[in-house]
């Protein structure tokens, strides 16, 4: 019976680690967006301008 309780405890701990990993990944992604905000904005604008100009030809 003790082994089953140990397995349940380990599984519960693993879920906690997954939440921490997701939070860390989100923090890194948000940091990258903040750092490269101007480059991302110009890239998105360029892409939308190209889409607009190409769709006019259809």
- Domain hosting 50: range is 2-56
* Residue 14 pLDDT: 61
Q: What is the DSSP letter of 30?
A: H
* Residue 16 pLDDT: 64
Our count of domains for the chain comes to 1
- Cα angle, residue 18 at apex, residues 35 and 26 outer, rounded to 5°: 15
Tokens of 57: 């030809």
pLDDT tens, position by position, for the chain (58 residues)?
Answer: 777 887 777 767 665 667 888 899 999 999 999 999 999 999 999 999 999 988 877 7
* Residue 15 pLDDT: 59
| Stated pTM of the model | 0.53
């Amino acid at each position: 019976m003790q082994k089953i309780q140990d397995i349940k405890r380990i599984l519960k701990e693993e879920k906690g680690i997954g939440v921490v990993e997701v939070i860390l990944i989100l923090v890194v992604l948000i940091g990258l967006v903040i750092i490269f905000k101007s480059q991302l904005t110009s890239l998105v604008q360029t892409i939308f301008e190209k889409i607009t100009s190409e769709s006019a030809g259809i």
